Structure 1
Amino acid sequence: MMLSGGLLGLVIGAVLGLTGAGGGIFAVPALVFGLGMDMRAAAPMALMAVGSAAMLGALQGLRQGLVRYKAAIVLATAGTITAPLGIRLAHWLPSRWLNLIFVAVMLVVAYRMFMSSRGVQNDGELPLMQSGICKVSKETGRFIWNPRTVTTLGGIGVVSGLFTGMLGIGGGFIIVPALGYFSELRMHSIVATSLLVIALLSVVTVFIASEQGLSLTAATWAFSAAALAGMAGARLLVPKISSMVLQRIFAIACVVVAAMMLTRNIG
């Protein structure tokens, strides 16, 4: 069991390190299929592993000056308001409905990833359709703070927190595209900031779940430790991998896993 957890953790950490998103998207199905967990138990355990790996990536981003830490604090603070509600919804909704919501999320993520991959620019950056609501200073690369910026980032955090609590996902797949659209940040900064928010939200959600009786097994600790190793290795590979290839592989994997989850739900 520990070996299986470790191997799964390596894969999940690598996915998170390469994309800044998707760790929870694959971590929950990995725990469900690989370790035979119920989805309600898998969600907080996936968050523990993903959150630990995300913190490692966020620290690397902080050293490189890529993380917009004030924005991350606003996003995470707003998310902590709705994360408890998401946990309650997870216990209230039948497992079948949770699985169906999860499948729908994976298909949406797959579509977004594939469409993004079709427009990768020559420098490897994904072109961002930006609304320009959250302005960024051209001199410092940091946000220009005003009520619209705070409100917009807070709204993104609220939605992210709800999905984090309910499904054990919601950090990367919501924050990355939302920051890409509403802000003028470059993708490298968006990914690094997203990782810090994921880490902070994961800590809060796992703490709440532990207060409600979550127990951590040896396989869970192996899963988390391996996710850290996968994250560290993947961050070294990021500059060497084509964004288009990475995005399309991710999209295909999402569709495959969604199909597996749907088959399990029907069965």
Structure 2
Amino acid sequence: MLLMAMTLGGAVGMVLGLTGAGGGVLAMPALMLALGYSLTDARPISLIAIGLAALLGSLDGLRRGIVRYRAALWIAAIGIACAPIGSVLMHYLPARWSVVLFSMLMIYLAWRMFRGASRDVVIRDECDCLLDPDTGRFRWTRRCASWLAGVGSTAGMLTGMFGVGGGFVIVPGLRRISDASLHASVATSLMVIALVSGFSAVTMLLGAASIGMTGWMFVGAAAAGTLFGRVCQPHVPVQPLQKMFAGVMVVAALILGIKALV
């Protein structure tokens, strides 16, 4: 069991390090299907694993100077404010339908990922958050701040509900509303995930959540996998990788949904 936890954690961390998205979504089915956790018990483990892995990835991005940290702090602040709302909503959902809802979310995200939600080509005229070519920072406007807040609130709600980090919202969101590069969007996403997931995980741990040895092995392996993924990222084409994981997500979602309904 410990070896499986390490293997799965490493794979989830590597996806997170490579794409800034998807790792959080894959963490939950890995914990539930392979390691036998319930959705409730898997959430804090997923959040700690994703938060620590994202922290390591974002530190690498900061070292390389590609994190848009002001945008990350603003998105994270909104996400942290909205995460408890997601947790409250999840509390009132029956366990079976919570899993079914999560499965539907996974299928939707897989479809978005397969279609290439993170675009390789950005049309500056369609962006509300533009980078200043002299400073490399966003030119802050009310519209830009509003769009970034929308990304943060969505990511925070989903983090509170499902313990998934929200990178699958942040990266496509940044690519859609800004002219930041894909690598900068991924690095910025990792910083947001680290902050929002870390806050949510601490909140759960202060409650009744427990991790256990298997959970901590999953967490440690995810952190190591993220570091490896960040090293490989400049040399790996992201779009084919996203399409491959989209297929994995669909299969995992169908298995989770069927098990919950049977």
- RMSD over aligned CA atoms reads 1.6
Superposition deviation, residue 241 in structure 1: 2.4
Question: Is contact 1:175-1:194 (8 Å) kept?
Answer: yes
Work out whether 1:203 is the aligned partner of 2:195: no
TM-score (norm: length of structure 2):
0.94
**Structure 2 SS opposite 1:33:** helix
Q: Does 1:156 align with 2:151?
A: yes
**Is the partner of 1:174 in helix, strand or coil?**
helix
Alignment pair present for 1:80 and 2:80: yes
Specify every segment of 5 or more residues in structure 2 that has no aligned partner in the other structure, as ranges.
none
Given residue 6 of structure 1, which amino acid in structure 2 is its aligned partner?
M
Which 5+ residue runs of structure 1 have no aligned equivalent?
none
Task: Name the CA distance, whole Å, in 2 between partners of 1:111 and 1:64.
Answer: 31
Asked whether the equivalents of residues 84 and 208 of structure 1 are also in contact (C-alpha less than 8 Å), the reply is no
**Contact 2:165–2:196 at 8 Å: present in 1 too?**
no
AA aligned opposite 2:199: V
Q: 1:55: Cα distance to partner? A: 0.6
Q: 2:120 aligns with which of 126, 138, 146?
A: 126
Whichever residue aligns with residue 185 of structure 2, its letter is I
Q: Please, which of 188, 203, 210 is the counterpart of residue 183 of structure 2?
A: 188
Matches within 5 A, 1:25-40: 25-40=25-40
Distance of 2:152 and 2:6 partners within structure 1: 31
1:235-262 residue CA offsets vs partner (Å, 9 max, x unmatched): 2222332333212211111111111112
Does the 8 Å CA contact 1:106/1:254 hold for their aligned counterparts? yes
* Matches of 1:209 and 1:235, distance apart in 2: 28
Give 1:50 shift. Answer: 0.8
Q: Is the 8 A contact 1:40 1:90 kept in 2?
A: no
Is the Cα–Cα contact under 8 Å of residues 165 and 197 in structure 2 kept in the other structure? no
Q: 1:163 to 1:129 in 2, by over 3 A?
A: farther
Match of 2:171 in 1: 176
Is it true that 1:264 corresponds to 2:259 in the alignment? yes
Distance 1:236 1:185 in 2: 20
Q: Return the alpha-carbon distance in structure 2 between the equivalents of residues 198 and 170 of structure 1.
A: 5
Distance 1:214-1:180 versus aligned 2 partners, 3 A rule: same
TM-score (norm 1): 0.93
8 Å CA contact retained: 1:58, 1:196: yes
**1:104 corresponds to:** 104
Letter in 2 for 1:263: I
- Cα distance in 2 for residues equivalent to 1:126 and 1:61: 19
AA partner of residue 211 (structure 1): L
SS at match of 1:207: helix
Aligned to 1:36, the other structure's residue is in SS state coil
Provide the C-alpha distance between the structure 1 equivalents of 2:241 and 2:92, rounded to a whole number of angstroms.
36
Distance 1:222 1:5 in 2: 6
- Aligned with residue 142 of structure 1, among 130, 134, 137: 137
SS of 1:116's equivalent in the other structure is coil
* One of 210, 215, 218 as aligned partner of 1:215: 210
Total equivalences in the alignment: 261
